[in-house]
Every structure is written in structure tokens, then in C-alpha cells.
Amino acid sequence: MSYKWTTGSVYRGDLYYEDDRIGAPTYIDFGMDTITLRPSGSAQLYVEDGKVGIGTTSPDYTLDVAGDIGVDQYIYHNGDANTLINFADDKIILKAGAKAMVTVEEKGTAPHEVTINDGGNNIDFVVKGNGSNEGNPLLMCDASTGRVGINGVGTPAAELEVDGTIVASGTDPRIGVATTSPKTGLDVHHNPTSLADDTGGGDVVTFGTGNLTAGKLYFLNSSGAWAETDADAIATSDGLLGIALGSAPANGILLRGFFDATTYLSNFVAGLPVYLSATAASMDTTLPSGTGDIVRCIGYCTTTANVIYFCPESTTLELA
């Protein structure tokens, strides 16, 4: 069947295919401000002002498809050609501005992958909560620094920074530091061989007052101030000891741990015990020997020059 029209307007009703004589007819259905394509009488394509329906005559959107859609490869954002969804074999790539934000892939064998930032760009992965606890973000993966923040930490200062409590639960929880096979609840393997001069770490506190010097040895007096030790008298040798990590208690006082005592340790010998020195705020592997001097072991030399394991004993001995 064919039609040939001259210029001008022609008014007709529905257009039927005259050779379709078996079953329901195939025709174009003209309605009030609508056009419907009906093969075998079934509405497949419906058009009204501003809307197109496929498989539906009641489209809710500019294009409304009631059924499945097949796409060879790309779905583009109009006017922004590098923002798209790319369908490949067993793989979907979501790109914005030509950057692979999310890649979903079924591998040949498990494990399969959902990858954020598959292109290795500076794209942070952020998960937001509802603002409770310490606020947003709930999870922040900083691509530019390779660091992760949890519970309101938007700019993590270390590889993992958590603002809150960390709990290891279960019947046998274990946390390993510098070991992949912890044997106890907290298993820390220390390697203090790279400490800089007059630095250290371990059990550190920030309480008390006083003007300090990093590397010097102090005791906490009855006024709550850190004062320089001196093995010449029990009053300056007893009680809680600590090594200053800076110029003020806020910088840290090491109570127990490893320390590079380059400046204020005399006579380092690997394996020997370290004692309070009769020189103010200092340490020595040689015992004090003067009458009235106080002997107190405060740690041991390691195999790394000037690095000691600082672990003050509570026992003191006054020389007669």
C-alpha cells in the first residue's frame, strides 16, 4: 500500500495496512493530540505532546519505556559527551568528565571487582552518614595522600585516622603492629633502629607543667611539675620518671618505650643497664659512686647506638 500527497493538508482517520488480513490489524492510530503505532493491534509506540511511550500509552516522562532496553555500548549525557555509562562484556564503567568513577566487572574467575577510581585519578571516595557521632564524612578515602579517615575525619593525618573508639571483638581478638600473625590481644613488634637523635616513642603522657628540653630526664614533683633528675639525692631520683619529647609536657613525656638518648646518655654499651646520672637530667651506664648517691636502673641499651629501652625501676639504693 502506498500514499502520494500533494502539498497542503489532508485529513484522514487511522491508517491501516490493507494487506494485513490475518489476526489483529496493523495501523497508525490517530487520537486527540496523540499518535500510536499498533502492529497487530498492540500499542508499541505512543507519542503525545512532549512525551513518548514505548510499550505504554501513559508515559510519565519525556521517554518512558515499559520493558527492557538493549544498548550496544554507550549511554551519553547530552551536551557532555565524556560523561557516560559504558557497557562492555561483563563490565560496566561509569564515567564523569572522562574519568572512570566506578567500574563493575565480572572477572573470568572469582573474586570479581567493584573498583572506585579505576583510572588512578585524584578522586576521593566519600561515604556520608546522617551527621551523628562526630559528623561527616563517615568514611573518607583520600586519593591524593593514600589515607583513610573515619567518623568525621575529612583530612586524615595518617594512613588511618579514626575519631572515636576502635574495638576488636570476638572470642580471640588480636591486633598486630608490624606483624601479620599476632599471638596476643595486642602484639607490637618494635624496630627502633631509625630513631632520630633525642626522639622516641611508646607510653607517652602530656600531663604536668614545666619548661623542658627534649632528651632530658625528669621526675614529677609534688607540685605536679617535671623537674630535672639528679642521682645526688633521693629527692631528685625517686617517683615517676620520664624523658621529655619536646619543650613542654604537651609535646609528650615518655614513661616507657624506646628512645635515642644521643645527647644525654654517657658510655653507651649494647646490653648494659642504664642508670640515673649524678649529672642533672642525664643517664649513664656507669653506676654513681659518691656517698649519698642514688642508684636507680632506668632501662637498657639496645644494639643500636644510643638507643635505649626506657623502663624505670621503682627500686632505689642509696650509697653509704
- The model's pLDDT over 87-117, given as tens digits with 9 standing for 90+, comes to 999 999 999 999 999 999 999 999 999 999 9
CB 54 within 8 A of CB 64: yes
Q: What is the spatial distance between Cα 55 and Cα 35, in angstroms, rounded to a whole number? A: 13
- Residue 300's DSSP bridge partners are 273, 309
**Segments making up each domain of the chain, as ranges:** 15-65, 74-116, 125-162, 193-318
- In Å, what is the CA distance from 15 to each residue of 3, 29, 215? 10, 7, 98
Mean pLDDT of residues grouped by 10 in the chain (320 residues)?
58 78 87 92 94 96 96 96 97 97 96 96 96 95 97 96 95 95 94 96 98 98 97 96 98 98 98 97 96 97 98 95
The whole-number pLDDT of residue 10 equals 61
The strand pair at 34-38 and 27-31 is best described as antiparallel
- Residues in contact with 110: Cβ distance below 8 Å, sequence separation at least 6, in sequence order: none
| CA atoms 273, 277, 281, 285: torsion sign | negative
Q: What is the spatial distance between Cα 272 and Cα 43, in angstroms, rounded to a whole number? A: 94
- Rounded to 5 degrees, φ, ψ at 42 are -95, 130
